[in-house]
Chain A
Amino acid sequence: MIRLLELLVNGVSLGLLYALITLGFVIVFKATRVVNFAHASFLLLGVYVVAATQARIGFAAAALLGLAVVGLLALATERLLLSRIDRHNHHAMAILTIGLNVVLTAELTRRLGEHVLPLGAPWDGRVVDLGPLTLPLTVVITVAGVPLLIGGLTALLTLTGWGLAMRASIADAEGAALAGIRLRRVSATAWVLAGLLATTAGIGLASFPSPGVSLSIESVAIAAFPAAIIGGFDSLGGAIAGGLIVGVVQVLVAGHQDSLAFLGLGIGDVVAYLVMIVVLLWRPSGLFGSKEFSRV
């Protein structure tokens, strides 16, 4: 029972990190209708920068540097590359991000190889006893901190001018442009925000109990794609729900690996995709997605 509870908390923690990744992905999609296939490699780049520099400049400065690098990269992607493509040609933009993903992954593979770099976060390696539960400090911080972050983001979207502009340009890009909303600024902000969220989530993913920063972080982060589809792809609430579902299911399944042996070793890594396919068979537009989006 206690073990199940521990698993659940761990699952929620992982799910919240997925929610952050998925949120960035979905925000970019909503604001620009671009599917960013490079999202997972943005994340890996961010934590790589943190891990590679923390020994020299300390973790806090390294984390800021990682956030800055990915934020700038996202901005550059939007400003220097995507803005040169016809705004309606979302296919071309998505494919461009695939090319970008290949280049980024190649560079990170070159730099990381088989290495595992320590992240050097102050909470790394520490566990906390909460009553009967023993939890990594990372998990406690995630479970407490990420909801605050998501709350702040919601406030940003509902209360600020930028949020209003973004929601308006999602609803009706042409109309928003006529009303004086600068679509470019909205989409640039969305991209930067997505990069920052991904890096933040990456720091969580690479912290204890994970051994550190390695190439496998990227394949973990890719699970944000099925999370986005489960949630509905164009719904922010769905992104959070999808992330949580994937996180909890992964941890629960991996935790019961022995009794699920008939499904094969490492089923925890692929269960997200199974859930995704089941959800798609049941609801092609995901749990919270709009119908129009996948309607035939």
Chain B
Amino acid sequence: MSPPRLVVEAVSVAFSGLLALDAVSFTVEPGTVHAVIGPNGAGKSSLLNALCGIYPVTGGRILLDEHEVTRQRPDRVAALGVGRTFQNIVVSPRESVLDNLMVGRHRLTRAGLVRTALWLGRREQRRHEARVREIAEFAGLSARLDTTAGRLAYGDLKRLEFARALCLEPRLLILDEPVAGMNTAESRELGRLVLAARDALGLTVVFVEHDMGVVMSIADRITVLDFGKVVAEGAPAEVRRDPTVVSAYLGVPDDDAPDAPAPEDAVTGHEAERTPR
């Protein structure tokens, strides 16, 4: 299947009167890696959550190829082949890495309560487990499959989420700060993994990231948000030169990155909440 095109048309998101996104538009071409950057509170996470149906869109529309996903439930969006990671890691900390990855197969598998209860889900499970091991291998998690997720190092947790998103066999991959809190070597490696996955699996990728090194090296295009509005868009080289971007964002050294986007992210199992530092 060829990678999809994502069209975001004048999308607005409001929380009790506060406009988190204000008529944001951009298009992600099939098979490209598209970065969304901007200062803290610019609405980046709100944008991703709107794409996935987690935050209600108050205006505009979102198209994935010919499918309108604007007001779909998150599980319907996932069913269309949208896999994502979360800014503050969301995994089951008490389950094994393999179990956490297998959840990613949920939409691709069918065994319900009755079939599972009667031992009828096992063949399907084995088949999918083989593929999950393949993906774990790709993400460098093979040696950790039996480890309890809560005991993983931070970098491994980030890769676990990334691998789980791949286990959905997504066509559109959404990453919310995939390298936040990683050291330089780990970040560079994850950047390479993203590109490798895009090439091998034929994905379209949208990601939010503060690490400009990673953004500039893997993004084909960049959209810059500030106060919920698009202030610039273009190829990395263009964006780097854009004076509005430099003043709004790049000029300011961004050391203190603990990101608190619009309303407190409703996204966590508290045990999974970790501060990188």
Chain A: residues with CB nearer than 8 A to chain B?
A: 88-89, 172, 292, 295
Contact = CB atoms under 8 A, between A and B. Distances in A.
A88 B270 contact: yes
Closest 7 CB pairs between A and B?
A88-B270, A292-B266, A295-B266, A88-B271, A89-B270, A88-B273, A172-B264
Interface string B46-74: 00000000000000000000000000000
Contacts of B266: 292, 295
7 contacts: A88-B270, A88-B271, A88-B273, A89-B270, A172-B264, A292-B266, A295-B266
Nearest to B268: A88
Interface of B: 264, 266, 270-271, 273
Contacts of A89: 270
B188 to A, nearest CB: 32
A295 B55 CA distance: 11
Contacts of A292: 266
Contacts of B270: 88-89
Nearest to B266: A292
A172 B260 CA distance: 12
A154 to B, nearest CB: 24
A88 B270 CA distance: 7
Contacts of A172: 264
Q: Name which of B270, B271, B273 has the most chain A CB atoms within 10 A of its CB.
A: B270
A178 B76 CA distance: 40
A82 to B, nearest CB: 16
A225 to B, nearest CB: 24
Contacts of B273: 88
A295 B266 CA distance: 10
Contacts of A88: 270-271, 273
A292 B54 CA distance: 12
B240 to A, nearest CB: 35
Contacts of B271: 88
A88 B273 CA distance: 10
A256 B50 CA distance: 52
Contacts of B264: 172
Nearest to B273: A88
Nearest to A87: B270
A89 B271 CA distance: 8
B81 to A, nearest CB: 22
Nearest to A88: B270
Nearest to A175: B260
B89 to A, nearest CB: 15
A295 B74 CA distance: 13
Nearest to A172: B264
A292 B270 CA distance: 16
A70 B266 CA distance: 36
B76 to A, nearest CB: 13
A292 B271 CA distance: 19
Nearest to A91: B270
A292 B266 CA distance: 8
A295 to B, nearest CB: 7
A89 B270 CA distance: 8
Q: Name which of A88, A89, A172, A295 has the most chain B CB atoms within 10 A of its CB.
A: A88
A180 B65 CA distance: 51
A89 B264 CA distance: 18
A295 B267 CA distance: 12
A95 to B, nearest CB: 16
A295 B264 CA distance: 14
A129 to B, nearest CB: 51
A290 to B, nearest CB: 10
